[in-house]
Amino acid sequence: MRSDLMKKGVERAPSRALFKAMGYTDSELQRPLVGVVNAANEIVPGHIHLDIIAKDVQAGVRMAGGTPIIFPVIGVCDGIAMGHIGMKYSLASRELIADSIETMAMAHPFDALVFIPNCDKIVPGMLMAALRLNIPSIFISGGPMLAGNFEKRKVDVVSVFEAVGAYRSGKISATRLKNLEDCACPGCGSCAGMFTANSMNCLTEALGLSLPGSGTIPAIAAARRRLAKQSGMAIMQLWKKKILPRDIANEEAFRNAITTDMALGCSTNTVLHLLAIAREGNVSVDLALFDKISVKTPNICSLSPAGKHHIERLHEAGGISAVMKELAVAGLLQTKALTVTGKNLGENIKKTRVLDNEVIRPHTAPYYPEGGIAVLFGNLAAGGAVVKQSAVLPEMLRHKGKARVFNSEEEASKEILAGIINPGEVLVIRYEGPRGGPGMREMLAPTSALVGMGLDKSVALLTDGRFSGGTKGAAIGHISPEAAQGGMIALVKDGDIISIDIPARQISVDISTEEAEKRRRELVAPQKEIAPNSYLKRYAAMVSSADKGAVLLA
């Protein structure tokens, strides 16, 4: 056993003494030691209940003959961190999470790991750690929040963000906004739509690293507690069979996950995260692969923010297994891929069927003929840019307009909320990339304000930063190279004509080579204040571009 390094032999008597100081018995120490990586805290609604899930995991591990040992990791709530300096730390926390798990699992050599994430950067951070460490691992998420009910319609946290724009433009009253605020998020769980947290939990299931149901069973359901116990039991089988994360999350598994991503219409953040996770497993994944798969994968689900359905409806319709079954019928998945059940994907989904054809459409009658995400290239994004095309209004799939340039999210939000944005414009928010932000902030506030004001029908928004999984509209992010690296986006001026053609995968700005060179010589980048000893300063110095996953480079 790997844990023998810290518990076996005469020389490890001091270590055993320290274990016994915590109440562990000789019998417990003789069993495999299973680290339970618990992201519970009291600041993230998706994590407020994870201690309960952790106890159920512990029960499962014990039932199967192991000794479970809980240790924590940090977690940022993107919704609460949104719109202020806190968002600079969100993506950056992904690396801290992966590094801290590596630290714990190497300092205390566990035989296996059970990961309990739920929200945005915690899921990919844990996945990165699992593939980096490559010891038997399984994931069990905390599950999605139920949608709220407001004026006879289903709502979620994005409904509140959009309502802020509606209030600012005089479309709704302060009382109505307050009433929506009170009911949009009815309880624990990751926010109810196909935002980043639920996207990543669903893709973890598609990768084969969690048991069927982990991505969609509601947080409050007893079925999730049962699944947590089953996950605790399953990890012991993975340990006995010596099945490792990289045995599961190989190239065919990543292709399956990206295909499922496109069918579901997941958050654009999945691109950033899957690139980073694949790198940890030495799997070759790039932006071109995402677009290659997108072109041939129908978008068969229309989930919030793109559509009216929420994750609870997806679960009732058969969940990720049903989505993958439909994709398999279309010949789009590698069904021989191994999973944490010990069986291959084809065996897992064999008896699954779609229970609601409105929520999960047949591949022959999709919501959109291509995948939910498109990758754009052009002189404005030589390294690529991403957009959730399934959430773009048809009239905005092709757009040409004058640039309105901002050097920060705050500058853009101020003018949007002041109501001085003109229909037809292309808003450019730059110096918000991984290095320039630093931290590549999500910008749900400006996009939601545009939607709330009805401007998503005529205004596009481009950034070297990123957008929330809750974003809809012609919001194009991850523009690479970013402004802080001297990308073309740094050279754009107010009034420049920007052309967007999502079906053709093109994005460009009408600037001649000579004019671009002249502007580059005259370029003075804005200086952003960062505390000299801040983690963000180290992060900015080491982080890669978005098209490489915004990972830290040695």
Catalytic sites, residue numbers: 468
- Evaluate whether 407 touches 430 at the Cβ level (below 8 Å): yes
C-alpha torsion sign, points 42, 46, 47, 49: positive
**Residue 498 CA to chain centroid, in angstroms?**
28
- Evaluate whether 34 touches 64 at the Cβ level (below 8 Å): no
Kindly write down the DSSP assignment for every residue of 393-455, as one continuous string. Answer: -GGGSEEEEEEEEESSHHHHHHHHHTT-PPTT-EEEE-S-STTTTTS--B-HHHHHHHHHTTG
Pull the structure tokens for residue 3.
Answer: 């844990």
Instruction: In whole angstroms, give the CA distance from residue 52 to residue 482.
Output: 42
Instruction: In whole angstroms, give the CA distance from residue 5 to residue 1.
Output: 8
- Evaluate whether 430 touches 464 at the Cβ level (below 8 Å): yes
C-alpha torsion sign, points 297, 298, 300, 301: positive
Pull the structure tokens for residue 516.
Answer: 């671009």
Pull the structure tokens for residue 86.
Answer: 């806190």
**Residue 109 CA to chain centroid, in angstroms?**
29
- Mapped onto helix, strand or coil, the DSSP state of residue 27 is helix
CB burial string 429-457: b at 16+ within 10 A, e below: bbbbbbbbbbbbbbbbbbbbbbbbbebbe
Which of 258, 323, 310, 306 shows the shortest CA–CA distance to 467? Answer: 306
Angle between helices 122-133 and 196-207 (to 10 degrees): 30
- Evaluate whether 413 touches 460 at the Cβ level (below 8 Å): no
Largest CA distance in the chain: 76
Radius of gyration of the chain (CA): 23
Instruction: In whole angstroms, give the CA distance from residue 122 to residue 124.
Output: 6
Identity of the residue numbered 205: E
Instruction: In whole angstroms, give the CA distance from residue 484 to residue 486.
Output: 5
Task: Indicate the Cα dihedral angle 119, 204, 142, 325, nearest 10°.
Answer: 130
- Evaluate whether 251 touches 283 at the Cβ level (below 8 Å): yes
- Evaluate whether 39 touches 47 at the Cβ level (below 8 Å): yes
CB burial string 27-53: b at 16+ within 10 A, e below: ebbebbbbbbbbbbbeebbbbbbbebb
Residue 444 has phi, psi (to 5 degrees) of -80, -30
